[in-house]
Amino acid sequence: MASWTIKSLYYGKITVPKGNLASGLDPDLIIDFPYMGYLLQNGKQNILVDTGIHEDNIIDGKAWGGCPAQGGRKYVIEALEKEGLKPQDIDTVLYTHLHNDHAGGASLFPEARTWFQKDELTNLLNPLPTQKIRSDFDKRTPDDLKLLKDVYIIDGDMVLPNGLELYKLPGHTSGSMAIVVPTAKGRYVLTGDIPHLGISLFPKLDRMELLGGSVIDITPAPDIMMPYLFNSVIYDHYAAFDSYNKLKALAEEFTPQWYLTGHDCWIINRNFFG
Ligand SMILES: [Zn+2]
């Protein structure tokens, strides 16, 4: 089996009431959530998953939903520098989805082979009114994608020759994609924002790690909210249920440690997987 290592990359952060991402549980709890990417390496390839938020999308220090935020392409460059890499060292970019906080740095990687789902492109070009109001997609992204020289627009699930597995998991967006990464330790799943946080897949969790490593108590979901804790940024709940059920089966085990989500602080604190 092909063996990969995974590093989490810190691209900045957004400060959001936890309740917004947890069906209203703990509405008064305000938490810094990281913008994130991942670096996948197998000794031959440097693959980047997601490219953060563009600096122009943070207006007066605020981003998505009017929440305080910091980030931008320099964060992406700095995160790669920490790993001893420059943008041109990235062979391949995989997008979990094309929301503004995941595809904002697309223009940094014009030469890289770039993969995303066909339905994600359709969603980007035809956003729902709610997606427009919240500026979920960056208006810049369609033009940024035109600059890319080697694009693979795929539809559905695939196993790549290098051992990575791609799964189309709609719900958060039409073409959200999870990536299964086989490592020496086992199979990790990069979930993108299906779900944003591990608590969505594991709603009975009663502790949450913050950026920096401290741990706080949180309210576990009541039984009526089970089996999954959805948030307000799911556009197709039927599809999301199917996607979560599929996610459940993809990892080494159905426990939180194997699910590397789009915005969980503990993943940034830990940095290395594999
Ligand atoms: Zn996100």
Q: Which domains does the chain have, with CATH numbers?
A: 5-273 (3.60.15.10)
Q: How confident is the model at residue 130 (pLDDT cuts 50, 70, 90)?
A: confident
pLDDT at 14: 97
pLDDT for the residue numbered 2:
67
Find the 111 Cα to ligand 1 centroid distance in Å: 24
Q: Mean pLDDT across the stretch 216-235?
A: 93
Residue 71's pLDDT is what? 97
In the block, which residue shows the tokens 């924002």?
193
* C-alpha 187 – ligand 1 centre gap (Å): 22
Distances (CA, A) of 179 to 17, 56, 188: 28, 28, 8
C-alpha of residue 76 to centroid of ligand 1, in Å:
15
Digit-coded pLDDT (tens) for 6-52: 999 999 999 999 998 898 999 999 999 999 999 999 999 999 999 99
What's the gap in Å between 35 CA and the centre of ligand 1?
7
Cis check: omega of the bond before 256, within 30 degrees of 0: no
Distance in Å, CA 99 to ligand 1 centroid:
7
CA 193 to centroid of ligand 1, rounded, Å = 5
From ligand 1's centre to the CA of 87, what distance in Å? 21
CA distance 264 to 192: 11
The pLDDT value given to residue 64 = 83
| Contact yes or no for 178/225 (Cβ under 8 A) | no
Question: What's the whole-number mean pLDDT along residues 137-163?
Answer: 97
| 1-17 per-position pLDDT tens digit | 569 999 999 999 999 99
State the chain's mean pLDDT as an integer: 96
Cα 263 to middle of ligand 1, angstroms = 6
Q: Which residues keep their CB under 5 angstroms from ion ligand 1?
A: 101, 193, 262
pLDDT at 133 over 90: no
Two structure tokens written together for 165: 């597995």
Spacing, Cα 14 to ligand 1 middle (Å): 10
**DSSP string of the chain, one letter each residue:** ---BEEEEEEEEEEEEEGGGGTTTSSTT-EEEEEEEEEEEE-SS-EEEE-----GGG-BTTEEGGGEEEEE-HHHHHHHHHHTT--GGG--EEE-S---TTTSTTGGG-TTSEEEEEHHHHHHHHS--HHHHHTT-S-TTHHHHHHT-SEEEEE-S-EE-TTS-EEEE--SSSTT-EEEEEEBSS-EEEEEETTTSSHHHHSTT--EEEPTTS-EEE-PPPPGGG-S----TT-S-HHHHHHHHHHHHHHSSSSSGGGEEESS-HHHHHH-EE-
What integer pLDDT is reported at residue 199 of this predicted model? 97
Q: If you measure from the C-alpha of residue 196 to the centroid of ligand 1, how many angstroms do you get, rounded to a whole number?
A: 7
Q: State the average pLDDT over residues 124-138.
A: 90
Mean pLDDT of 226-254: 95
Instruction: Give distance in angstroms: CA of 156 to centre of ligand 1.
Output: 21
Q: How far is the CA of 1 from the centre of ligand 1 (A)?
A: 30
Model pLDDT, residue 166: 98
Q: From the CA of 70, how far away is ligand 1's center (Å)?
A: 14
Kindly give the distance from the C-alpha atom of residue 178 to the centroid of ligand 1, in angstroms, as a whole number: 13
Percent of the chain having pLDDT more than 90?
Answer: 92
**CA 7 / ligand 1 centre spacing (Å):** 17
Asked whether residue 107 carries a pLDDT value surpassing 80, the answer given is yes
